[in-house]
Amino acid sequence: MFLEQFPIQNRSNGWIEVICGSMFSGKTEELIRRLRRAEFARQDLILFKPSVDIRYSDKNVVSHRGTEFNAVLVADSKEILDAVKDQKVVAIDEAQFFDADLVEVASELAGRGIRVILAGLDMDYTGAPFGPMPALLAAAEYVSKVHAICVSCGNLAQFSNRLVSDTDQVMLGAVEEYRPLCRSCFNKSAS
């Protein structure tokens, strides 16, 4: 379980937190939960999402359950550096959709004393590492892996099984296109 860390008063400590897991595991819900706590503590914050992700909203990050939080759309990770001003918390949803520079961006922000929280899929629908996520996991001080429930057997699920024949790595979707599976059920579905 992740314990939220906060800098000692009058010190500037930045760090990187990554929330990862499969589709329907609650990554965005957990990201929003952490932001609500920071907001309650009156910490200035900003949330970013990739401009490619307009599934539920073009202005907000929205979880599959419908929880929303105001966000800034950006086309690439370098835009984040330009948009951050005096915020003490910077959050990024759907990190897997960003370019490889996201690791450098997150590290630079943390170096400025900013708490950086990222959420994203650690694996694509084939079970391969997704985008900048492996490097973000390596660079992070804190990693939280959340799990869905396998829709086939009820075990913990860590794989996002695609239900349609599209073979592009990036394909936005929800319950009509993806289902969470455990390792055993995922392996059975691939054979």
User: What are the residue numbers of the active site?
Assistant: 94
Diameter over CA atoms, the chain: 57
For residues 55 and 174, the answer to whether their CB atoms sit within 8 Å is yes
Going along 71-188, which residue ranges are E strands?
A: 72-74, 89-92, 115-121, 142-146, 148-149, 156-157, 159-162, 178-181
Q: Which helix (H) or strand (E) holds 69?
A: strand 68-70
